[in-house]
Amino acid sequence: MHQIDSLDEMKAIISTGKPVLIYFSGVNCSICHALKPKIIDAFTKELPNIKLCEVQTDVHKELTSHFTVFSLPTILVYFDSKEFKRIGRNISVPVFIQDVKRVYDLYI
């Protein structure tokens, strides 16, 4: 998972128009650490053309506030530089994958 360090880098990645998943997590968030490997595994197998990125909210508060992230973990998915899905806290990985796969199959 690519670590994003600045707002400019985040905007550059999103503006490419390619599919992007941004995972907002915290250092002391146990759910974040438990969910991250499941998300990486599922997206790598099911949706390999989506770029996986991570933002450490404890370190990059500017990014967290710019994208109005209020709870952890929060996942944003972009297609064509537009936010398609925002999900947080209680996440069912299979349902989440199914929702994103619908658009992904049309896009790819």
| Sign of torsion over alpha carbons 7, 12, 16, 21 | negative
Output the pLDDT for position 89.
83
Quick one: tokens of 40?
């990486």
Q: What range defines the domain where residue 43 resides?
A: 2-107
What domain count does the chain have? 1
Output the pLDDT for position 4.
95
Which regions of the chain are under pLDDT 70?
Answer: none
Output the pLDDT for position 90.
85
Output the pLDDT for position 58.
93
For 1-108, strand residue ranges (E) read 2-3, 20-25, 51-56, 74-79, 82-88
Prior bond of 48 cis (ω within 30°): no
DSSP state of 63: H
The CATH number linked to 10 is 3.40.30.10
Full-prediction pTM beyond 0.85?
A: yes
Output the pLDDT for position 20.
97
